[in-house]
Amino acid sequence: GYYADRWKNLLISMSSPTKAYFDTSDQEPFCMYNYLLDIITWNKSIRRGFIKIKITDYAGNTVESEMNREASTFQQYKRVKILTGFYQDLDKISKISLTFSTKTLIGPKHKLRILQMRLKSLNNPER
């Protein structure tokens, strides 16, 4: 790791390409792999809640995203972009699953109907 006030001098002086993780986690190796979820829903009524993402590679390895602390609002045909992070990066993804939760114990359970979804790696934008 780098001290917050000295990271720039250390990285600039290195001649080889270097990855720096400024969105860190509390678990080793302390790096987060960030993804942008771009989603359009077609529910007629507004839905408000949280999305958790699981990605699986062809070898069967699965990682689960960290839950966003703020609920997202989903309206019919409106694009919502959610930044999410994983503790581990998977190269070739074979499966993506989403779980929608309102985090309420009382009241009806709601479904989130997805019209379009794109998951883009911010660490590796070519994927």
pLDDT at 14: 61
Task: Go through the domains of the chain in sequence order and give each one's CATH number.
Answer: 25-121 (2.60.60.20)
pLDDT at 15: 61
Q: Is 117 helix (H, G, I), strand (E, B) or coil?
A: strand
Helices (H) and strands (E) in the chain, counts: 1, 7
pLDDT in tens, 36-85: 899 999 988 898 888 899 999 999 999 998 766 788 999 999 999 988 88
Q: How far is CA 49 from CA 3, 6, 17, 57, 101, in A?
A: 36, 39, 39, 27, 6
**Strand-pair category, 33-41 with 114-121:** antiparallel
Question: What average pLDDT score do residues 87-92 get?
Answer: 85
Most confident of 4-8, 15-19, 97-101: 97-101
The per-residue DSSP string of 20-71 comes to --SSB-SSTT-B-EEEEEEEEE--SS-EEEEEEEEEEETT--EEEPPPPSS-
